[in-house]
Structure 1
Amino acid sequence: MERAAEALGISPDKLREMNLYKEGDLTPYNQPLTDCNLSRCWDDVMKQSDYEHRQNDINVFNSENRWKKRGIAVMPLKYGLRHSLQSTDHTAGALVHVYADGSVLLAHGGVEMGQGLHTKMIQIASRVLKIPMSKIHTSETSTDKVPNASYTGASMTSDLNGMAVLIACEVIMKRLQPFVAKNPAGSWEEWVTTAYTDRVSLSATGYYKTPKEDHDWQANSGDTYNYFSYGAAVSEVEIDTLSGDHVVLRTDIVMDIGQSLNPAIDIGQIEGAFIQGYGLFTLEEVRRSPTGFLYTAGPGTYKIPSMNDIPVRLNVSLLKGSSNPHAVYSSKGLGEPPLCLAASVFFAIRHAIAAARADVGLNDFFLLDSPATAEKIRMACADQFTRQFPEPKKGSYTPWVIGL
């Protein structure tokens, strides 16, 4: 896209905007897009980030500074959530116990690993049972509670287990309905106690399976993905052309995640995924010796994102007025999609390097491979110093680069 924009004599941002997916467009695998909010995400982030004004300020800054350069870039995102495979991996189970005192114990097949999954499952149960979250407790994932659980991953765990929890809780509510009808002014505890006294089961399982895939791989038609998450991000960076160091001055993100089950958790997930992607695109470079020995075997030999790498300003917004009929309570999976938005940092760095190269009369297209490490940034900022070093041979490796 960058190279095409240069050949056409327009900005990469304009070219990307002209080619954004619209409602009803077909993907390369001929799936029509419905509820496509990509343009809304793009417009919102451009407005919230004050993109055009800041672009002008960056041009002024670059004209006044020789060894410090800034760049800004906007990146759109369409990410498919694929739940409709013909696979046993796309099932989920839940077990709900209601005790005579009105407390609830919830078990489901998802693994809590800091992503707030338990909290979301409690919220779903609370919504169906119409009781405070404080009355609901969870037990850790265990096969003696929920057997044959699908793996926790692919941004689909809340979708799958959330539906299983919802189904189990609806079974409980259906059993309680006669007692609610007899005593509509009663409390949750009264209904549960009456049901217990009447020897009604207050334990239920929920099982959910996704719709089967209807994509025809031979004809390349049908739905390959269950739904899509959309987003857009604007990032601004400043690079030191002499050292190759950089700092992310500001990032603005707008994500379409449907109706968020928990905005606080989801914003945290977006921030975390973005920083992980930042490491992917700018820091974490795998290096091997000529014999194949892995030098970068862990964080001791390559840099991972730290607190100092968080953008000086990080603004995250959730797109309003979005819905998703394919997941629990119209939510959307979001663990992985925001990671890709960190590409906005990579391209902002590239634009800053382009400004440095322009100062020495290099206006031609140049290739910058990801990750944009300090070494690559420094050598790409061609000047009288970099010309003193010969161009490395393809596939060669210099151990002193990482101090080995």
Structure 2
Amino acid sequence: QDVDTSQPPQDPIGRPIMHQAGIKHATGEAVYVDDLPSVDGELFLGVLTSSRAHAKIVSIDTSEALKGPGVFDVITAHDVPATNEFYYSSDPEVILARNEVICVGQIVCAVVADSDVHAKQAAAKVKIEYERLEPVILTIEEAIKHNSFFEPKRKLEHGNVDQAFETVDNIIEGEIHIGGQEHFYMETQSVLAVPRGEDKEMVLYVSTQHPAIIQEMVAASLGVPANRIMCHVKRVGGAFGGKLLKTGLLASLAAVAANKTSRAVRLVLSRGDDMLITGGRHPFVGKYKVGFMNDGRVRALDVKYYINGGCTPDESVVVAEVSLLKMDNAYKIPNLRCWACVCKTNLPSNTAFRGFGFPQSALVTETWITAVADKTGLSAEKVREINMYKEEEQTHFKQKLDPQNLIRCWNECMEKSAYYSRKMAVNEFNKQNYWKKKGIAIVPLKFPFGLGTRYLSQAAALVHIYTDGSVLLTHGGIEMGQGIHTKMIQVASRELKIPMAWIHFCETSTTTVPNACASVGSAGTDVNGMAVKDACQTLLKRLQPIINKNPNGTWKDWIKEAFEQSVSLSATGYFRGYNESMDWEKGEGQPFTYCIYGAACSEVEINCLTGGHKNLRTDIVMDIGCSINPAVDIGQIEGAFVQGIGLYTMEELKYSPEGVLCTRGPNQYKIPAVCDIPEQFRVSLLPSSQNPHAIYASKGIGEAGLFLGCSVYFALRDAISSVRNERGLAKPFALNSPLTAEQIRASCADAFTEMV
């Protein structure tokens, strides 16, 4: 991204500035919750989780656990002073199971001891007697059979679907199963709860995306006002949506233990326990019926999404809503009916995850696009181009859309990737090789930005100027590695017209910025940036008379004079949020503020004998408006894309018939490593793009790139298709996600696979 030559050299906006804590991250000096020094008398919490998916708790015997070395107490539901069940919907989120367990991994009790080892050893000695309850529902198919769903079910309809099906040349039906995904943040769930010793005050240091919900839940569980609970977040070692409600339950558990023992309590989950307890991305089953003409034009679509929500609602209904709103991806579908049902099962509740339903529903869309290409004999990219939004349109929920930059991204990606010449080279390679095949695919992206309602996108900031001229900046956003604090310092630097080095961000805290909304939905920079800008402009307005009187003075001169004139050097800033809304009864609304566009082309090579593959090259073009920090933003695009590779090709969660997660930890659960990064990885930003709706014409970029990882999935499909064509196998073939080595090998059918 080129910076305008008229921009002052000291203005940092639009420049590729290193993440403020980047060096600390690399050297290990960055401080996370479990790096905080021990508090005098600190205790540790070891949790005991249910071993049954659905059962009545007959008894809990803690006698042996209490005899363990260093054990102080065992915390059960009876020890929660006030609220143990949080009703954010009709089904509660529970701190500790009281009479019944509804999944393997639900916390039943916790042991407080003088060390982490002693706490875990004692927790293993707690004996729980269960009585099995029926039914035990683990899969989407079982939930459908038992009619086990969370309400409400959602539906959107546009045009006349049934009539359109009567006039098309072809109709095909199919389905795809999309597996879940573990967040696998580097820092597991962590909290340190420290009682103040008076007025029922408690300080919490938590790894969370949402300090305000932690404050609210802890206060409710202890039965005290929120003003007695102070929540501090320096930084979070990754979250991806996984540190919201579940973190609130764990923080409340630590607070209950700290309250009962009057000692500081530290709770840091092991990787295995974290994966067992917290849930992740929702598994989907997408069932589609699509009607289209012989020239590839799609005229009608009827699609149903079944979503495995787990045992409690958490964010699942909202995920279902977003999956419907964003399911069209880049395509204009004139007659459309889509449904989403959240299945209630006996698995740990699934929750928010980067992309929030879009990576699943859009993969279903790209699957039937590919099926249309197979049926018509057209190339997949041709079918995509035919059906892509091309001019100002209304979406299937009647929101206006200008796809100009979508087309620009697609065309530029085609050009930069040299798609057609490389496709010819891939075909030539495949003719020359029998046991190795290459594949190539290009996929477009339309990712609407928005949280659906105004109050979820409000933000506040607090800026202090000290008499030495240094500035302390605070806002409600959470640093999770995405560089929000770096960008906020850039914003403050531009507005105050001082170097970034003079500005410091300490931490996010409920004591400085109350009632802050969660850092979710790619919105952190958009909303907090506006609040920081507002606060800085307020301060500069106060300073302006002093600056006008002494235009040749320095910043320090002006601040010293302002203090001597009793000018307030502290200001709050506020952003009311975007005017977004959706009427589900009418099936229309304005739930989004703008769209991020993009396209990705990926080339792969598979080994037909092993099912293994190499990611050879990926070209990405993204429209992210005017980037505030292209170095950070390109890093976000790259990271999201690689996480998408994991979702669509590698990361597979496996459960036993009893509902026990078998893939706990990196030995069994494989996430992308260095060898999975494309050998050539080229990311470029669309030039000359403006976004009038966000801070400095930028766009929120945290989530959008993840879906483009499916370009690898479809490149793999292209390679498999080449194998099957060469061997005379049927053209229509089904693939599910993740497209693992096992599935690739099985799809390259031969005498060996027939033996299985």
TM range (shorter): over 0.9
The answer to whether 1:166 aligns with 2:506 is no
Q: What are the Cα deviations for residues 50-85 of structure 1, in whole angstroms up to 9, with x where unaligned?
A: 111100000000000000000000011111111450
Unaligned runs of at least 5 residues, structure 1: 390-404
1:6 maps to a residue whose letter is D
- Partner of residue 328, structure 1: 695
1:40 maps to a residue whose letter is R
- Partner of residue 20, structure 1: 388
- Partner of residue 41, structure 1: 409
C-alpha distance in 1 between matches for 2:706 and 2:695? 23
Determine which of 658, 671, 674 is the counterpart of 1:291.
Answer: 658
Please say if residues 22 and 33 of structure 1, whose CA atoms lie closer than 8 Å, have aligned partners that are also in contact: no
Please say if residues 430 and 436 of structure 2, whose CA atoms lie closer than 8 Å, have aligned partners that are also in contact: yes
Which secondary structure does the structure 2 equivalent of 1:37 belong to?
A: helix
- Partner of residue 90, structure 1: 457
2:388 maps to a residue whose letter is L
Q: State the Cα distance separating 1:363 from its structure 2 match.
A: 4.5
C-alpha distance in 1 between matches for 2:738 and 2:403? 33
C-alpha distance in 2 between matches for 1:20 and 1:255? 17
Within-5 A mapping of 1:178-193: 178-193=545-560
2:535 maps to a residue whose letter is A
Which secondary structure does the structure 1 equivalent of 2:693 belong to?
A: coil
Within-5 A mapping of 1:365-384: 365-384=732-751
Q: How well do the aligned residues superpose, as a CA RMSD in angstroms?
A: 1.3
Moved more, 99-108 or 230-239: 99-108
C-alpha distance in 2 between matches for 1:316 and 1:157? 22
Within-5 A mapping of 1:337-376: 337-376=704-743
Q: State the Cα distance separating 1:105 from its structure 2 match.
A: 0.6
Report the count of equivalent residues: 388
Q: State the Cα distance separating 1:311 from its structure 2 match.
A: 0.5
C-alpha distance in 2 between matches for 1:278 and 1:215? 32
- Partner of residue 102, structure 1: 469
Please say if residues 238 and 248 of structure 1, whose CA atoms lie closer than 8 Å, have aligned partners that are also in contact: yes
Which secondary structure does the structure 2 equivalent of 1:320 belong to?
A: coil
- Partner of residue 245, structure 1: 612
C-alpha distance in 1 between matches for 2:561 and 2:420? 65
Q: What are the Cα deviations for residues 167-203 of structure 1, in whole angstroms up to 9, with x where unaligned?
A: 0001001101111221223222222222111110010
Q: State the Cα distance separating 1:289 from its structure 2 match.
A: 2.1
The answer to whether 1:196 aligns with 2:563 is yes
Q: State the Cα distance separating 1:35 from its structure 2 match.
A: 6.2
- Partner of residue 53, structure 1: 421
C-alpha distance in 2 between matches for 1:51 and 1:164? 43
Q: What are the Cα deviations for residues 198-228 of structure 1, in whole angstroms up to 9, with x where unaligned?
A: 1100100111121333444333333121111
- Partner of residue 648, structure 2: 281
Change over 3 Å in CA distance of 1:198–1:334 after alignment to 2:
same
Which secondary structure does the structure 1 equivalent of 2:462 belong to?
A: strand
C-alpha distance in 1 between matches for 2:451 and 2:735? 35
- Partner of residue 482, structure 2: 115
Which secondary structure does the structure 2 equivalent of 1:304 belong to?
A: coil
Determine which of 159, 173, 177 is the counterpart of 2:544.
Answer: 177
Please say if residues 79 and 337 of structure 1, whose CA atoms lie closer than 8 Å, have aligned partners that are also in contact: yes
- Partner of residue 235, structure 1: 602
- Partner of residue 74, structure 1: 442
Q: What are the Cα deviations for residues 350-392 of structure 1, in whole angstroms up to 9, with x where unaligned?
A: 0000111112111411111110100000000011211222xxx
Determine which of 485, 500, 505 is the counterpart of 1:138.
Answer: 505
C-alpha distance in 1 between matches for 2:660 and 2:567? 64
- Partner of residue 372, structure 2: 4
Unaligned runs of at least 5 residues, structure 2: 1-368
Within-5 A mapping of 1:148-163: 148-163=515-530
1:209 maps to a residue whose letter is R
C-alpha distance in 1 between matches for 2:627 and 2:550? 34
Q: State the Cα distance separating 1:294 from its structure 2 match.
A: 1.9
1:74 maps to a residue whose letter is I
Moved more, 220-229 or 343-352: 220-229
C-alpha distance in 2 between matches for 1:106 and 1:86? 25
C-alpha distance in 1 between matches for 2:454 and 2:466? 37
Q: What are the Cα deviations for residues 298-317 of structure 1, in whole angstroms up to 9, with x where unaligned?
A: 32212111111111010000
Please say if residues 454 and 576 of structure 2, whose CA atoms lie closer than 8 Å, have aligned partners that are also in contact: no
Q: TM-score by structure 1 length?
A: 0.93
Change over 3 Å in CA distance of 1:66–1:331 after alignment to 2:
same
Q: State the Cα distance separating 1:290 from its structure 2 match.
A: 2.6
Q: What are the Cα deviations for residues 129-169 of structure 1, in whole angstroms up to 9, with x where unaligned?
A: 11111111111111111111111121111111111101000
Please say if residues 621 and 683 of structure 2, whose CA atoms lie closer than 8 Å, have aligned partners that are also in contact: yes
Q: TM-score by structure 2 length?
A: 0.50
C-alpha distance in 1 between matches for 2:701 and 2:450? 12
Determine which of 18, 26, 29 is the counterpart of 2:397.
Answer: 29
Which secondary structure does the structure 1 equivalent of 2:705 belong to?
A: helix
C-alpha distance in 1 between matches for 2:402 and 2:383? 23
